[in-house]
Chain A
């Protein structure tokens, strides 16, 4: 089955630093990738949608300068949390799909802790 690899699985950083999270589709070309944020015991909140080679589309209320998304190739998207603060601590999950009819395939998530 389709595999999406997300790295790192856990990261602890100091307030004010930036953190990059990678999301790779390993065995298919992902025309569209999605980034979600999940708070404890809550559902997934869509942050942004990215298509290869174009700018990401951010959901309302998500700061694009805070959460930089790059979808440089059909197999790689990155999310950079810039100048992280403790309130950015969360579980971030990426997902990818090949075609519009395909189900989403999810990475295993990244637990970000900002101290």
Chain B
């Protein structure tokens, strides 16, 4: 069965420090992986995706993610955190069931960047 795990409910980082939000996945075949961010009372915004190619994927707002096939991980990273990065982050993998491709989301990780 396809699944996504985000082991941390919350990540706390000081502004200016690097941040990492962890994600591991389980899927048969080649994974299609995504990161989304959600601000309060808003929908999700797409950050980046991995389908094929370079393991290091660069996305919006200075975020990047590294695909590691042996560790089945797709951790989200940013070299220098901003207070405005504080939000809820979701990792997702594309799964297939019921005749459709659909996104399977992790539980989410709340990122808190403090000044």
Are the CB atoms of A57 and B98 closer together than 8 Å?
yes
What residues of chain B lie closer than 8 Å to A100, measured between beta carbons?
Answer: 101
Chain-B contact segment, one of A14-22, A64-72, A81-89, A104-112: A104-112
- Quick one: given A43-B107, A44-B90, are A32 and B46 in contact (CB under 8 Å)? no
Interface size on A, residues (CB 8 A): 26
Q: How far is the CA of A4 from the CA of B36 in the complex (A)?
A: 15
Of all chain A residues, the one with the shortest Cβ separation from B107 is A43
Residue A93 lies at the interface, judged by CB distance under 8 Å to chain B:
yes
The residue that A42 contacts in the complex, of B45, B46, B107, with Cβ under 8 A, is B107
- The CA of A44 and the CA of B34, in the complex, are separated in Å by 14
Closest to A101 in B: B51
Residues of A in contact with B (beta carbons under 8 Å apart): 4, 6, 9, 32, 34, 42-44, 46, 49, 57, 59, 91, 93-95, 100-101, 103-109, 111
